Amino acid sequence: MPNQPKYTCTNCGQEHSDFPALAFSSPDNYHSLSPHAKETIAEITSDFCVIQHPEQTDLFIRGVLIQKVIDHCENLEYGVWVSLSEKSFDDYSENYHNENHETSYFGWLCNDIPGYEFEDSIPTTVFTQIGNQRPEIVPHDDFDHPFVKDYYNGITKAEAERRIEEMLKSS
């Protein structure tokens, strides 16, 4: 397909014609910390983030949110972060290398997806995946927010391409 857009991957630097995953390197809670706070109260890896405030500890994991594209054969994937309760975070951490661990947790979406206003965090269900794949994040369908409506109704290929361009420009 000669007119298919190409995207340069921010990780490998290669050009691809398929949709790139739109990945957030950290939860917004971590991203908004000062450099000093990142060094002193936070710890982050590619899959876990812990922020130890004096009054509370915030716990995050990374997952995949798959956005249906209604007029295309490919979906748009977001690499997003969700906050979990201590009990859920501990269970996920303890079973991180267990290829057969399959469960779900309640979580809060902790990345603001470009193109939407986020006054409140979106409640989600986090589904762990067999084979040690990143968990799938699914927003609650009863939460009234334009992103949730788009998640369940799907977006067009043109909208997906617009989102990709917007995310690539901001990274």
3-state helix, strand, coil in the chain (%, to 5): 25, 30, 45
Q: Is residue 57 part of a domain?
A: yes
In a domain, 44, yes or no: yes
- The pTM of this model reads 0.86
Q: What's the CA gap between 141 and 100, in Å, rounded?
A: 27
* 46 lies in some domain: yes
Sign of CA dihedral 128, 120, 147, 79: negative
pLDDT tens per residue across span 12-71 = 455 545 688 899 999 999 999 999 999 999 999 999 999 999 999 999 999 999 999 998
In a domain, 47, yes or no: yes
Strands (DSSP E) found in 84-161? 104-109, 123-127, 136-139
Model pLDDT, residue 20: 83
Q: Has residue 1 been placed in a domain?
A: no
Residue 59 contacts residue 53 (beta carbons within 8 Å): no
**Domain of 63, in residue numbers:** 7-170
| Residue 17 placed within a domain | yes
- If one counts the domains in the chain, the total is 1
